[in-house]
């Protein structure tokens, strides 16, 4: 059977949120065996997102965790807590299965031993653009797979440089010295790896902006182990699009509309 793709999406309230989620759901709905882990950056789950998910036609889990106020400013990595909440939820879901599979394997549970589960974990920001082909590519991830990302790093695209089927470097316009010079949208991790490295999380402390991906990946893999997808990283199947800030200059201040629209 198809390995489930778990797409972890952090999202926060703003005028374009419902539009972004609508676009994302329209993509995800066409991917079979996808489980959407939507994590709101909020103290409570909101009515807007709950109602939206109920009608989205996508298998989903709805979580929430607020970003601490001190981290809500420019120049700091975004959505660290939300991505980690998604990882923690997944590990809890599979906890019993992992323990059982370690026990059945007679050998003492070694950390590098992989539990007998199948699935793929992918970090899908709510404003990017995803081709359907991308999901076919990531579905076959054995440990950690990588591919190019469009419209990022001050270039038309960034990509892992591949020689003889192995990643040997990074084509990037920004901090090529990062151990994994890759955007969040440029990799997927097998569920086995996520579960067998239970401490791997996104870091705030000591993580400079733009280093989150690298800091995370170095906890679970090595560059030599990366599996290049998208024809040896020669095709762009996902774009780091960003939505323009909406102009609400003409919103009425005082008497709003006669009806309430979300």
Report phi then psi at 158, rounded to 5.
Answer: -115, 155
Annotated binding-site members for UDP-alpha-D-glucuronate: 10-12, 41, 78, 83, 125-127, 240-242
The smaller minimum CB distance to Mn ion, of residues 127 and 227, is found at 127
Toward Mn ion, which CB reaches closer, 14 or 175? 14
Over the Cα atoms of the chain, what is R_g? 19
CB of 252 to ligand UDP, least distance (A): 27
Binding to Mn ion by CB under 5 A, coded x per residue (else -) over 72-111, reads ----------------------------------------
Pairing, β 4-11 against β 34-40: parallel
Stretch that binds Mn ion, among 17-25, 102-110, 117-125, 176-184 (CB under 5 A): 117-125
Closest distance between ligand UDP and the C-beta of residue 33, in Å?
22
| Among 81, 127, 213, 227, interactor with Mn ion by CB under 5 A | 127
Sheet of 155-163, strand order = 129-130, 238-239, 149-152, 155-163, 166-171
Measured at CB, which residue is nearest to ligand UDP?
79
Given the complex with ligand UDP, which of 16 and 223 has the nearer CB atom? 16
Residues within the interface to ligand UDP (CB under 6 A): 9-12, 41, 67, 72, 78-79, 82, 125-127, 242
List 36's β-bridge partners, or say none.
Answer: 7, 60
Closest CA to 138 of 128, 148, 151, 129: 148
Residue 125 binding Mn ion, by CB under 5 A: yes
245: left (phi over 0), alpha (psi -120 to 50) or beta: beta
Give yes or no: 137 in active site.
Answer: no
The dihedrals phi and psi of 162, each to the nearest 5 degrees, come to -115, 135
Structure tokens at 75: 């120049």
Choose the catalytic residue: 213, 224, 225, 244.
213
What tokens does 111 get? 């950390």
Q: Which residues contact 136 (CB under 8 A, 6 or more apart)?
A: none
Residue nearer to ligand UDP on the CB measure, 96 or 248: 248
The listed partner (Mn ion, ligand UDP, none) that binds 228, CB under 5 to 8 Å by sort, is none
In the chain, the largest separation of any two C-alpha atoms, in whole Å, equals 70
Which residues carry out catalysis?
213
């Amino acid at each position: 059977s198809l390995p489930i793709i778990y797409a972890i999406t952090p999202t926060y309230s703003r005028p374009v949120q419902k539009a972004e989620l609508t676009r994302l759901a329209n993509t995800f709905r066409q991917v079979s065996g996808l489980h959407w882990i939507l994590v709101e950056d909020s103290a409570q789950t909101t009515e807007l997102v709950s109602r939206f998910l109920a009608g989205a036609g996508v298998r989903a889990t709805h979580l929430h965790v607020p970003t601490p106020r001190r981290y809500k400013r420019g120049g700091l990595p975004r959505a660290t807590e939300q991505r980690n909440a998604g990882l923690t939820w997944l590990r809890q879901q599979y906890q019993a299965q992992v323990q059982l599979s370690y026990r059945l394997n007679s050998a003492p549970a070694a950390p590098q031993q992989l539990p007998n589960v199948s699935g793929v974990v992918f970090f899908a920001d709510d404003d990017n653009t995803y081709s359907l082909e991308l999901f076919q590519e990531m579905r076959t991830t054995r440990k950690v797979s990588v591919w190019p990302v469009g419209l990022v790093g001050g270039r038309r695209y960034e990509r892992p440089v591949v020689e003889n089927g192995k990643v040997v470097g990074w084509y990037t316009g920004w901090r090529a010295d990062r151990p994994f010079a890759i955007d969040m949208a440029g990799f997927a991790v097998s569920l086995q790896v996520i579960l067998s490295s239970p401490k791997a999380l996104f870091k705030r402390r000591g993580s400079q902006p733009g280093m989150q991906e690298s800091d995370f990946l170095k906890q679970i893999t090595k560059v030599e182990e990366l599996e290049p997808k998208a024809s040896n990283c020669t095709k762009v199947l996902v774009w780091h699009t960003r939505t323009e800030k909406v102009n609400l200059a003409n919103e009425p201040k005082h008497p709003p509309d006669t009806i309430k629209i979300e």
